[in-house]
Chains A and B, each alone.
Chain A
Amino acid sequence: DAGITQSPRHKVTETGTPVTLRCHQTENHRYMYWYRQDPGHGLRLIHYSYGVKDTDKGEVSDGYSVSRSKTEDFLLTLESATSSQTSVYFCAIRPLILAGGITDTQYFGPGTRLTVL
């Protein structure tokens, strides 16, 4: 258990409304990631963070923004939700190893199922 929680776990919203998903971790990990999972696509990276206020885009970042004001929280925001953003969203962390390197293993949260009507 990597101490990752996601909230909410389920959400139904309407097209055009803003939505924020929260990923919270308790072990002070520096690297955090947001993915979406869709049938036929596997998991695709939306955004990632390598420290407080340090974020970068993944392969499917259009329509999403992120913020990391504290080490423990990584927020994913859909400014104006669309039906194409109906998906399951996973947060992940990557632990550091001794001597400042990073491991090659990511640990995933339980996911948030978002439905945009």
Chain B
Amino acid sequence: GNSVTQMEGPVTLSEEAFLTINCTYTATGYPSLFWYVQYPGEGLQLLLKATKADDKGSNKGFEATYRKETTSFHLEKGSVQVSDSAVYFCALESRAGGGNKLTFGTGTQLKVEL
């Protein structure tokens, strides 16, 4: 079946530090890959996505590249801000045999300090 593995948190960084959150996946077919973000007390919001190999998703300074050879979709940001503190979820959707349903990772909490 489909699965997503994320690095465990919390990840604590100083403002302006470089961020990487690792995400690897197992899926049948050719999945679409997503990063969702959850700010405290809120629901999830789509941060970025990529639908095929070598695509790069980007938004708000965050980037992730769909790497089929390593089955990875790592999230990066060059300079984090306190306002980036949130929980980040990697997810995939594979239409092969599973319909249009998302499979989520367990989430990685990011804390950014001044």
Contact = CB atoms under 8 A, between A and B. Distances in A.
Interface stretch (B11-19, B43-51, B63-71, B76-84): B43-51
A102 B99 CA distance: 12
A31 interface: yes
A106 interface: yes
A42 B93 contact: no
A16 interface: no
Contacts of A94: 100
Nearest to A111: B43
B106 A110 contact: no
A100 interface: no
A105 interface: yes
A44 interface: yes
A43 B104 contact: yes
Dominant SS at the A interface?
strand
Interface residues of A, number: 23
A31 B99 CA distance: 12
B43 A45 contact: no
Contacts of A90: 43-44
Interface string A4-28: 1000000000000000000000000
Interface string A36-63: 0000111111001000000000100000
A74 interface: no
Contacts of B32: 104
Given A4-B43, A42-B107, A45-B101, 9 more contacts: A33-B101, A42-B105, A58-B101, A92-B44, A94-B100, A104-B49, A108-B43, A110-B42, A111-B43
